[in-house]
Structure 1
Amino acid sequence: MLTAKVPRVVLVTRPTDYQNLLAHHGTREAARFFLESRGQRIEEAESRHARFDLALQAVLSAVPLKWRRSRIDRSDLASFVFEPEDLVLALGQDGLVANVAKYLEGQLVLGINPDPEAFEGVLVPHPPAAAADLLQDAVAGRAKVEGRTMAEARLDDGQRLVALNEVFIGHRTHQSARYRIRLGEREERQSSSGLIVATGTGATGWARSIVQQRKEAPALPKPTDHRLAFFVREAWPSRATGTSLSQGLVDQQHPLELTSEMNEDGVLFGDGIEQDHLEFVWGMRAVVTLAPDCLKLIR
C-alpha cells in the first residue's frame, strides 16, 4: 500500500507521430504536402493522435482531484526526480515502460494502452477506462503486481545503467568490438559485432531474433525469472580471438564480466537508447548481472 497522505501520479507520455510531424514541418499543410508527395496521408497520423488525445483525457479525469499529479515527456525522464511512493502511469506504446523503468527504484508502474490497434500492450495492458479503478487499487494495496527482472551493467569506475529489455556492449557504430569475456571459470578474448544481455521481457525482441538464427541456444528466461541470457553477435575466430563463449545464462552467482580492448567508441547502452550510453574503452571492466530492483508492473 502507498503510504503518502496525498498520492502523486506521474504521467509519462511521448509525442505522437502527428506531433512529431508538426514539430518537423511547422504546419499541418506543410506536413500534409510532404506526406502526399510520397504517397502517404496525414489523416492516418491525425486519427492515431485523436485516439491518443481521447485516452489522455480519460486518464487525466481518472486521477482524483485531491491527488498530486505531474506530467512529463519521455525526453525529460533523465532529469526528473521521482519520489519513493510515486505511482507512475505510462500512457503509450510498450517501449515507453522500458524507457521509464531504468529511472525507478521500486515505484509501481501502470501501463495504459491508448491505441490497441497499433500497440501490442504487453507492458501497457490496460485500457484508459480501467485507470480510475486501478489507481484506487494501487493506493489501497489491492493491485496485482508483477515483478519483472531487469539487467544492470556496472563499470569499475562506479557508473551503472539499468535496462528492462537488454544491455548492448560493443562498438558505438556496431563495427568489430574487441574485449575479454568471462563467465564463471570460462574466459576468452573475442572480436565480434558486440553482444547483448537480455531479460525475460527482452526475450520477445532482439534476443528472440538472434535465437531464431542459431541451431542451439539456451532457453530464454521468462519476464519474472531471476536470470538473464547473453548472446555474442558474429564472433570472429582467429589466432587471437575465440568463439566458444558466445552464449549462456547469467544470474547473481554467475555474473558476466567483460574487459574492453577498444581504443575508442566502446559503449554500453540499454533498451536501444544509444544516446544514453556509457563509454567502455580499453582497460575498463564491466560486470553485467541482475539489477537489485525489478519493474513493479500493475497487472
Structure 2
Amino acid sequence: MSLAPRAVLVHRTTEYEALLARHGTHGQAAFFLSSRGRGIDDVRERHERNRRSLAEVAAAVPLQWRQARVERADLDRFLFGPEDVVVVVGQDGLVANVAKYLDGQPVIGIDTDPGRNAGVLVRHRASDARALLAAVDRTGADELTMVEAVTDDTQRLLALNEIYLGPPGHQTARYTLTVEDPEPATEPQASSGVLVGTGTGATGWLRSLWQQSSSPLPLPVPTDARLAWFVREAWPSPTTGTTRVEGVLSAGQSLRLTVESDRLVAFGDGMESDALELTWGQTVRVGVARTALRLVG
C-alpha cells in the first residue's frame, strides 16, 4: 500500500520574529527600530501577512494527505520523501534554499508579499493553494536546470542559482582551472573565485559579473541545460594566466578546479554556512546537475 502524499510547508523566520527573539518584547523591538529611524508597524504587518498565508495554505491541504512544516534553518536536518509535495511559503530565495535538498519532488511557490517579491519562483497566491494541491499531478511543471559540484572524495553540492568556488574570505586563491570541452584546456590562475550559474541565477550574481565584464556570452534561461561561468578578478603573473575567464557548459561538460591554496570553499545560492571544504591538491568538478527543480507553473 502506497503512502498518501505529504505536503511539506517550507517557511522562514520573519524579521518580526527575529526582533522579538533578540529584544524580548514588542515594545523593546519597536524602540530598537525607532532609534535607527525605522518603524515596527510595517515589519509586523509583513509578519502577519506571512502567518496568514501559511495558515491558509495549511488549511488547503487535502484531508487525506499528511502534512509537515520545516523552517529554513532546519532544512539540512529534514528528510524529504519521494511522495512529498513541497509548498514554499515566502520569497523567491526560499525556493532556491530548498531546491538542493530535493530529488524531483514538485514544488509550489506561494508569494506571501506580492509586489515586494519578484515572484519569479513564488508564482502563486495562498488562495491558489487548494486548487494547485488537488491537481498537482495534472498541472504542468517547469524543469529548472540546477548546477552541481562533486569533489574527488565524492562530496556533492547542488544549487539552483549558482555555485561559488574560491577563498572563504573572497580574497585571492590559487588553483588550476581546466575546461573539459571536450578536449581539456588548462590554465593556472589566481583570482577571488569562480562562479558557475544556471539560467535561474542569470538574473542575480551571475548577471552582475556578465555585465561587469561586458561579456558577449548568451546567458542561459532557466530551462536551458546550460551553465555560464565567470572567473572573478583573475590576476596575471609569471605563473598564472587570465585567458580562460568565462564560458558556457552544456550537459556532459564540466569545469574542473584543482586546489593550490591551503583552503577553498564551494557553496551554493549564498548559503556559506553549508559549504564544501577543499584543501590543497583536491579536485572539484562543476557541471549541469543530474536532477532539476520541478516548479509547478
What range is the shorter-chain TM-score in?
Answer: over 0.9
Instruction: Indicate the residue corresponding to 1:211 in structure 2.
Output: 210
1:134 aligns with 2:132: yes
Match of 1:95 among 85, 93, 97: 93
Name the CA distance, whole Å, in 1 between partners of 2:155 and 2:169: 22
Instruction: Indicate the residue corresponding to 1:187 in structure 2.
Output: 186
Gaps of 5+ in 1: none
Name the CA distance, whole Å, in 2 between partners of 1:229 and 1:4: 41
Instruction: Indicate the residue corresponding to 1:259 in structure 2.
Output: 258
Measured against aligned partners, the alpha-carbon deviations of 1:58-114 in whole angstroms (never above 9, x if no partner) come to: 111111222100001011111111111100000000000001000001101000001
Report the alpha carbon displacement of residue 254 of structure 1 after superposing the two structures with TM. 2.1
Report the alpha carbon displacement of residue 4 of structure 1 after superposing the two structures with TM. 4.7
Q: Secondary structure at the match of 1:294?
A: strand
Measured against aligned partners, the alpha-carbon deviations of 1:106-153 in whole angstroms (never above 9, x if no partner) come to: 101000001113211100000111000000111xx2111100000000
- TM-score normalised by length of structure 2: 0.97
Report the alpha carbon displacement of residue 5 of structure 1 after superposing the two structures with TM. 4.9
Name the CA distance, whole Å, in 1 between partners of 2:84 and 2:252: 32
Q: Secondary structure at the match of 1:124?
A: coil
Match of 1:176 among 164, 169, 172: 172
Question: Is the 1:152–1:289 Cα contact (8 Å) retained in structure 2?
Answer: yes
Question: Is the 1:106–1:294 Cα contact (8 Å) retained in structure 2?
Answer: yes
Letter in 2 for 1:14: R
Name the CA distance, whole Å, in 2 between partners of 1:241 and 1:229: 22
Instruction: Indicate the residue corresponding to 1:242 in structure 2.
Output: 241
Name the CA distance, whole Å, in 1 between partners of 2:243 and 2:56: 54
Please give the residue correspondences for 1:42-191 in structure 2 after superposition, counting only pairs within 5 Å: 42-138=40-136, 141-184=137-180, 185-191=184-190
Q: Secondary structure at the match of 2:279?
A: coil
Question: Is the 1:94–1:120 Cα contact (8 Å) retained in structure 2?
Answer: yes
Letter in 1 for 2:255: L
Name the CA distance, whole Å, in 2 between partners of 1:251 and 1:286: 17
Please give the residue correspondences for 1:271-282 in structure 2 after superposition, counting only pairs within 5 Å: 271-282=269-280
Letter in 1 for 2:84: D
Q: Secondary structure at the match of 2:135?
A: helix
Name the CA distance, whole Å, in 1 between partners of 2:44 and 2:209: 36
Match of 1:289 among 287, 290, 295: 287
Question: Is the 2:62–2:133 Cα contact (8 Å) retained in structure 1?
Answer: no
- TM-score normalised by length of structure 1: 0.96
Name the CA distance, whole Å, in 1 between partners of 2:280 and 2:99: 30
Name the CA distance, whole Å, in 1 between partners of 2:37 and 2:239: 52
Q: Secondary structure at the match of 1:76?
A: helix
Name the CA distance, whole Å, in 1 between partners of 2:195 and 2:58: 38
Letter in 2 for 1:226: A
Name the CA distance, whole Å, in 1 between partners of 2:197 and 2:86: 24
Question: Is the 2:3–2:83 Cα contact (8 Å) retained in structure 1?
Answer: no
Name the CA distance, whole Å, in 2 between partners of 1:132 and 1:189: 54
Name the CA distance, whole Å, in 2 between partners of 1:107 and 1:177: 37
Q: Structure 1 or 2: larger strand share?
A: 2
Question: Is the 1:4–1:85 Cα contact (8 Å) retained in structure 2?
Answer: no
Gaps of 5+ in 2: none
